[in-house]
Chain A
Amino acid sequence: MRTILVCVAALWLSTAQEAAAQETRSTSPGQPPPAARIDELAWLSGEWAGPGIGGAPAREVYAAPLEGHLTGHFVQSGRDGIAFMELVDIVEEGGTLVYRLKHFNADLTGWEERREVRRFALVAKTDTAWFFDGLTIRRDGPDRMVGAVRIESSDGSARELVFHYTRVRPPVASQ
């Protein structure tokens, strides 16, 4: 019974997450990236947990900004433990921000080649949302955060994965 309930919940979450929520934005030609500083994202530092892909637990953790870098890691659980991880590094570059990441299997072997880095340029921002190209970080109250990423399939169609996080470890009090 419990299993069925969990499955139903997972299905519901999964459906909800893959809805066309329009959390993400894409870059358009000729559009200059907005000015932004790394300190704007200092609120991200700390640990966040919530339902991730398919409703399975996801976790992301960012350190307080250091030398223009906001560095973190992401862990997505699956049916048999950890599905994959990411090393995340947001940096201030040329007066704007770039979100960079690499993916890893649970055994720490990489998805990308050694020199290959996924980069997402900042496209737009509001007081509470930072829209990188196909990847959004949105502050949703003091202890909630929405992460969204656009996934493009091989047939050309795109869908959004949305992560609803709750803060589970507070930011550093004295910075």
Chain B
Amino acid sequence: MFRSLTFAVVLLASTAAHGQETRSASPDQPAPPAKIEDLAWLSGEWEGGGPGETRARAVFSGPTGDHLTGHFVQASADGVSFLELMDVVETNGTLVFRLRHFNADLTGWEEKDVVRSFPLVSVSGDAWFFDDLTFRKDGPDGMVAAVRARMADGGTRELVFRYRRIR
């Protein structure tokens, strides 16, 4: 119940994209070469979210070796809705984006051994397209993150978060 409620909040908070910010992996497509340094611009603190009363923060540190680690906080009028621990790792010459979700009390959504993993699908200009998850540089101090989420009715919808750099 709480999780679906949280999801509803996220839905309300986010802009439904008419554009196509995300791309999905296709079976025959090899992962493009990429290095963790390519995403070093993500380091720092980003503030943004959707319209209305919701706010989101994304913070990345490092890079540390092959990893770029970060966390995400989504807040609404009722306080913090959920958190994420994020980790981008360079492996086999390409990148994988991994994350885990947590409630505001830090209890997890996923069981302790379950990690959501998004392989890199393509890179185009200032956009890194992981499988249904995109990070796009939007000017010197802007960033767009987009995720293709599966809805209860079986359809999918793009959720787009627009950020500005505050650190």
Residues of A within 8 A of B (CB): 45-47, 57, 59-64, 66-69, 71-73, 75, 77, 81-82, 85, 87, 89, 100-102, 104, 106-117, 169-172
28 contacts between A and B (CB under 8 A): A47-B61, A59-B61, A63-B45, A63-B71, A63-B73, A64-B57, A66-B55, A66-B57, A68-B79, A69-B104, A71-B57, A71-B59, A71-B80, A73-B61, A73-B70, A75-B61, A75-B69, A82-B64, A82-B65, A102-B106, A109-B113, A110-B112, A113-B112, A114-B108, A169-B43, A169-B167, A172-B45, A172-B167
Q: Is the CB of A114 within 8 A of B107?
A: yes
**Cβ of A89 and Cβ of B83 under 8 Å apart?**
yes
Task: Tell me whether B80 and A109 are in contact (CB under 8 A).
Answer: no
Q: Does B141 contact A (CB under 8 A)?
A: no
* A71 in complex: contacting residue of B43, B71, B112, CB < 8 Å: B71
Instruction: Report the interface size class on chain B.
Output: 35 or more
Q: Out of B44, B69, B83, B99, which one reaches A169, CB within 8 Å? A: B44
Given contact pairs A82-B64, A104-B85, A109 touches B104 in the complex (Cβ within 8 A)? no
Other A-B pairs beyond A61-B59, A100-B105, A107-B98, 5, CB < 8 Å: A57-B64, A69-B75, A75-B69, A102-B102, A114-B109
Tell me which residues across on chain A come within 8 A of B111, comparing CB atoms: 114
Q: How far is the CB of A14 from chain B (nearest CB, A)?
A: 20
**Given the complex, which residues of A lie within 8 Å of B80, measured CB to CB?**
66-69, 71
The residues in B between 28 and 80 inclusive whose CB is less than 8 angstroms from any CB of A are 43-45, 55, 57, 59-62, 64-67, 69-71, 73, 75, 79-80
Contact with A along B104-137 (1 / 0, CB 8 A): 1111111111010000000000000000000000
- From A115, which residue of chain B is reached at the shortest CB distance? B107
Q: Check B62–A108 contact: CB distance below 8 A.
A: no
Contacts of B70 in A (CB 8 A): 73
Are A67 and B79 interface neighbours, CB within 8 A?
Answer: yes
Question: For the complex, what is the distance from the CA of A170 to the CA of B166, rounded to whole Å?
Answer: 10
Helix, strand, loop or mixed for chain B's interface? strand
Distance from B87 Cβ to chain A, minimum over Cβ atoms (Å): 5
Partner among A45, A59, A110 whose Cβ is within 8 Å of the Cβ of B113:
A110
| Complex contact B45–A64 (CB within 8 A) | yes
Given A73-B71, A81-B65, A117-B105, also A111-B59 (CB < 8 A): no
* Closest A residue to B44 using CB positions: A169
A46 in contact with B167 given A63-B71, A66-B73 (CB within 8 Å)? yes
Minimum CB distance partner of B112 in chain A: A110
B100 at the A/B interface (Cβ < 8 Å)?
Answer: yes
- A82→B55 contact, CB < 8 A: no
Question: When the two chains form the complex, which single residue of A67, A82, A110, A172 contacts B108, counting CB atoms closer than 8 Å?
Answer: A110
B55 partner residues in chain A, CB cutoff 8 A: 66
Q: Which residue of A lies closest to B85 (CB)?
A: A87
A residues in contact with B66, CB < 8 Å:
81
Cα(A171)–Cα(B105), bound, Å: 25
Choose from B65, B73, B108 the contact partner of A115 (Cβ within 8 Å).
B108
B44 / chain A contacts, CB cutoff of 8 Å: 169
- Chain B nearest CB from A29 CB (Å) reads 25
Q: Which residues of B contact A47 (CB under 8 A)?
A: 43, 61
